[in-house]
Homo-oligomer: A and B are copies of this chain.
Amino acid sequence: MIMPRTEKQYARIREEKRALIKNIALELFASEGYYYTSISKIAKKAAISKGLVYNYFKSKEDLLKEIISNGFDAFTVVFDPNKDGILTDDEFDYFINEVFNILRSNTKYWRLFFGIILQSIVYDFVEEQLIRILSPMSKTLNNFMERKNADDPATDARFFMAVLDGVAFHYILDPDNFPLEKIKNRIINFFTRC
Contacts and interface: CB of A to CB of B under 8 A. Distances in A.
A158 B130 contact: no
Given A118-B115, A120-B108, A161 B152 contact: no
A75 interface: no
B158 A179 contact: yes
A173 B120 contact: no
Do most interface residues of chain A lie in helix, strand or loop, or is the interface mixed? helix
A8 interface: no
A158 B180 CA distance: 10
One complex includes copies of this chain to the number of 4
Contact of A166 (B33, B123, B154, B166): B166
B164 A120 contact: no
Interface string A139-172: 0000000000000101100110111111111110
Given A108-B120, A115-B119, A121-B35, A162 B183 contact: yes
A31 interface: yes
Contacts of A179: 152, 154-155, 158
Contact of A159 (B30, B127, B183): B183
A54 interface: no
